[in-house]
Chain A
Amino acid sequence: MVPGMLSNLTTNFVGRLRSRDPAAWFELWETFGPILRAQLAKWGGGRVGPETVQDLSQETLAALSTSIDRHDPNKGARFSTWLLAIAKHTLSGEMDRRMALKRGAGKKPVELDETWMGKDGGSSPGRAYEDAVFRAKVEAALRQVERDTDFMDFTVYRMRVLDGVPGKDVAIQLGISEPTVSRRLSKIREQLRAAVSDTIEKYSFTREELEEASRKGLDPNPKKASDALFDEALADIYHAQTECKREEPVD
């Protein structure tokens, strides 16, 4: 496989987007909408209000829907760059509209800059933005596991890992034994590893993006020794994500 080439899963997801599958678009919106909003708010520098940011982030997805047909996966652009380029285009359009006021009637609208499709083209997104995109992918995986697993099993994992409650206290709270807590933790962790791997793959266009999970402590290959590291990394990402959304702008 050529480095940077799309995996089947990603191709399928892009395929769903191309076929205008509403569920796929909603998924994209649910996962990355908040990041787009934060990025647009940051770029707007206070000149665009929250309402406009909301509208613009929706417009960004609308622009994506027209751009997706021309997307060439072999050019090696990152998924995050793809989102960012379109968001920038949308904001530029908004600024053009504002500056031109009514006299923009005969003005040629801003062209969609698609140089981002090239590996070296387009803007270089900031580190904080890249981190936010990665966290959003992990959150999507968490959400997926929460949906697909037994509520009490996930509750055990959530209390123990995400809330940091000692195993003994979790057992007392839920009226179960500590070994049961451990078993449920393992079960959910296994599913989380798979879900993180799938989600990263789904929203990645390049090899570098695919390897991001391993680099950040979310190794998809289970090793007994790495369980604690995996939980710790996941909890860190989760907390950073909840903090980030509370404060809105990415950086």
Chain B
Amino acid sequence: MTGSLLAFPFVILVWIAAIVSGIWLLVKLLAGIGWVFSRVFRGVGAFFTHVGTFLRDEVTDVFRVLGSALTALVFAPLITLSVAVGRWSAAQHYGNAMEREMIGLARGMYRLVLGNPARLLGLTHLTDGIEQRIPEAIARAPGPDKPGRATGTFEGYTVTGSLPGGGSGARIWLADASPEKVEQLSGAGFVAPRAVVIKSFALGDGSTLPQIVRESRALEAARKLGLVLEHELTGSRFHYVMPYVPGVDLGVETRRLHDTSGDRGLDDKSLAKALDHSTSLLAILHRFHSHGLWHKDVKPSNVIVGDAGVQLVDLGLLTPLASAMTLTTHGTEYFRDPELVRLAMRGVKVNEVDGAKFDVYSAGALLFSMLENSFPAHGSLSQITKKCPDALRFIVRRAMADIEHRYASAAEMLADLSFVRDARHAHKVKLAQLPSVAGTPKSADWIADLERQLSADMDLVAAELHAGAAGAAAGAAAGAGDDAGRRFLFKYEAGMGSKGNGNSYHAPPYKKSRSRGFLSVLGVLSVMIVGSAVALAALFTAGGPSHPVHDLASSHHDVGSLSAFPTSAPHTPPRLDDAVIRARTPGLLSADGDSRNASTAVIPVGNPPAPVPVATSTTNPLLGKAPVPAGHGRRVLVINDLSATGASVVGQKVETILQLLRGAGFAVLDEQNGGVGEDELVHLMASARSALGLYEPHDVDAGLLLRAWLAAESVTATEAAADAARDAGGAALVTEIAAPVDVVLWFGKSGGKVQYPYRVESLDERLMADLDKLVRHVNTQL
């Protein structure tokens, strides 16, 4: 009885448990079925979405292709008509438009036939980016192997090939010097190799005056290093000749060292080589610095490792340490100290900082890249993860530390590095033993010995060049498939607003040269140089050859904004050599404009004319008391891209601003009223436009570019003032003297959401703020 009483609840419990378990299993089963169905439906949905996307893309691309084809057809008769009536510029314009349409058509066809089907089949990674990569590779290919009529020939040299021109606006030719030329150069004291590189800027090839002026600035510095063989300026072309340096760049060498060492880091033998390269580089930098020069673009592709040792090439950014120029942000990200950018943004001058320390930073970054086989993405905080002596880790960090804590000089870093290199076991060197930590800096004798050694190395390199470079360079020029040629690559320069390795600011016309085209795969390098403003002036003084007058505006098809000039405005097209001289002399004011009296009429830039009454109000009551600063004759360059006319509200605003500025004593330089010679106005506009490229006022980089341009204009003025003062008797050169631009007022295109884009830039922060306030005021009041 008792047993059955106990069994009853047990049976009940079992039943309850069985029911609960059954329900739980049922729920799980249903959930599982639901999950399966949801996955199936989701998969089906994804499939149809995928196919739908494909169909949509195909249909869209069909219409795009048709659109491109039809548009291209429209351009064909326009081109024919323009050619028939002799409108060559218009024909070229329509030709360019048609080319763009054809590229669009080709891309559309590619997507239609290959890209979209590949995506449908899940082969996205196989085809993605091809439509960008191929055109880019084509665009990077070197130009013709022989110079055309626009470039002309180079007396004494036979051109054997060309190299990609990079961002400097130059054409770069490989050439052989004739035996007579070699003899002539040898007579002039050069150890002249037969193989040379000729860098040429011809207006007919699309080079611009600002490019030529900029290129010419470092010539004097480059001459100190004996790297320019000769140069020439004519009415339409500027070129200079340099020896061709054989070797491979440090990036290639670094990969090679790591390939032989394995993934963990450099083995002892490779480490010793890396230390040799690094110490040689520092010795070269020390030599640059002791000659008062700052390289400014030390990076792996600019360091060439050859049989004769290490060479530092590409002098495109070479800057005198004592220069009065404002710092610019040129250089290559990761190898350029970020502090340089900060200082440049503050408008600090080169001679107000120790430029040599920025080279030291780059040397540290370079050592990092050799040890890590990577770039220092975190600047001074970058971590060396591969096997490496602690002492080297410390040296890299100290070289890349904040400018105040960094090695004081390349020599100090070199002392530390030499200590590690010369140690029996580099891995056992204690940080406390390093000369910079132990407080045992190298003596002046040690430095002197180093310089002697370096000098001997340079002679050795020169001898190597003389003896052996010719054949190899010729090989490089002869064909990409030639093994000898694979060892050589000319390194070309960056221009203003340049972009290094895709990591820094750029404007399209000045896009920084990357290691481009198939030649970049070939390895190597070269030497760069520059043309001298002084030499240009000297050439001009000598009378300069009389070459046909060149129309500046027509030579700048890429500077589309030049079309903003009134086409009917009469102006005498400047000659290249005239314009270069003027570009160097905008900082002088001539009382009477007579060049023969310039020696007495020259007034330095910093000497402002008599103050002009300040306009503080206008007749327009809406404007109230407009905050207009005193002009003092300061020059405002107005870049106006507004599509709105003066009759529109925006146009009226701009007119009002300009009127207020004129009333306050500013010299307003715009296309309506230059206030100065038309030639100079054309030059200023073209130069500014060229510097800005395709940027628009709201772009952050546009401000940097404008500042750099203003700084360059300002420096040319200062240099010209010094030259003119020095050459009091020879001031006949200064035919048309003007002041530099103090501020740029840039109105962007109207239309769209933002009706009133503008930018004010000046090296004078106060002036910039005042004008910005004025523009805002007018904008809100009218």
Contact = CB atoms under 8 A, between A and B. Distances in A.
A185 interface: no
Interface string B48-79: 00000000000010001001100100000000
Given A46-B129, A47-B128, A101 B753 contact: no
Contact of B698 (A55, A62, A174): A62
B341 interface: yes
A50 B698 contact: no
Interface stretch (B394-402, B444-452, B572-580, B598-606): B394-402
B338 interface: yes
B342 A242 contact: no
Nearest to A52: B132
Nearest to A54: B502
Interface stretch (A4-12, A126-134, A139-147, A193-201): A139-147
A182 B644 CA distance: 68
A215 interface: no
A66 B754 contact: yes
A43 interface: no
B700 interface: yes
B750 to A, nearest CB: 14
Given A49-B129, A242-B383, A23 B377 contact: no
Given A26-B341, A46-B128, A49-B132, A109 B752 contact: yes
A61 B505 CA distance: 13
A178 to B, nearest CB: 14
Interface string B741-776: 000000000001110000000000000000000000
B124 A242 contact: no
A143 B338 CA distance: 12
B125 A242 contact: no
Contact of B402 (A52, A66, A147): A147
Interface stretch (B12-20, B320-328, B429-437): B429-437
Contact of A103 (B64, B124, B132, B342): B64
B513 to A, nearest CB: 13
Nearest to A239: B383
A45 B119 CA distance: 12
Contact of A65 (B401, B437, B700): B700
A46 B405 contact: no
B346 A23 contact: yes
B401 A151 contact: yes
B764 to A, nearest CB: 15
Contacts of A152: 437
Nearest to A51: B502
B753 A30 contact: no
Contacts of B104: 101-102
Contacts of A26: 338, 341-342, 345
A24 to B, nearest CB: 10
B68 A175 contact: no
Interface string A15-55: 00000101101100110001000000000011101111011
A133 to B, nearest CB: 16
Size bracket, chain B contacts: 35 or more
Contacts of B699: 58-59, 62
Nearest to A65: B700
Interface in A57-97: 58-59, 61-62, 65-66
A241 B377 CA distance: 11
Contacts of B166: none
A55 to B, nearest CB: 8
Contact of A151 (B71, B129, B342, B398): B398
A102 B71 contact: yes
Nearest to A22: B345
B100 interface: yes
A27 B352 CA distance: 22
B430 A172 contact: yes
Interface string B698-714: 11110110000000000
Interface in B110-134: 124-125, 128-129, 132-133
B267 to A, nearest CB: 22
A98 to B, nearest CB: 9
Nearest to A19: B769
Contacts of B338: 26, 30
A26 to B, nearest CB: 6
Contacts of A162: 383
Contact of B378 (A20, A25, A111, A242): A242
Interface in A159-186: 162-163, 172-175
B390 interface: yes
B374 interface: yes
A34 B342 CA distance: 18
A28 to B, nearest CB: 10
A70 B625 CA distance: 27
A117 B382 CA distance: 35
A246 B506 CA distance: 24
Contacts of A109: 752-753
A207 interface: no
A191 B698 CA distance: 38
Contact of B381 (A25, A61, A142, A175): A142
A174 B381 contact: no
B432 A173 contact: yes
Contact of A146 (B401, B503, B698): B401
B502 A50 contact: yes
Interface in A94-142: 99, 101-103, 109, 111, 139, 142
Contact of A245 (B378, B402, B432, B754): B378
A158 B394 CA distance: 10
19 contacts: A20-B703, A22-B345, A45-B124, A103-B64, A109-B753, A139-B381, A146-B380, A147-B402, A151-B398, A151-B401, A152-B437, A163-B393, A173-B430, A174-B437, A175-B437, A238-B383, A242-B377, A242-B381, A242-B382
Interface of A: 20, 22-23, 25-26, 29-30, 34, 45-47, 49-52, 54-55, 58-59, 61-62, 65-66, 99, 101-103, 109, 111, 139, 142-143, 146-147, 150-152, 155, 158, 162-163, 172-175, 238-239, 241-242, 245-246
Q: Top 3 closest A-B pairs, CB basis?
A: A175-B432, A151-B405, A22-B345
Given A45-B124, A66-B698, A238-B383, 10 more contacts: A22-B346, A26-B341, A34-B377, A45-B128, A101-B107, A101-B108, A142-B381, A143-B381, A146-B381, A151-B401
Interface of B: 60, 64, 67-68, 71, 100-101, 104, 107-108, 124-125, 128-129, 132-133, 338, 341-342, 345-346, 374, 377-383, 390, 393-394, 397-398, 401-402, 405, 430-432, 437, 499, 502-503, 505-506, 698-701, 703-704, 752-754
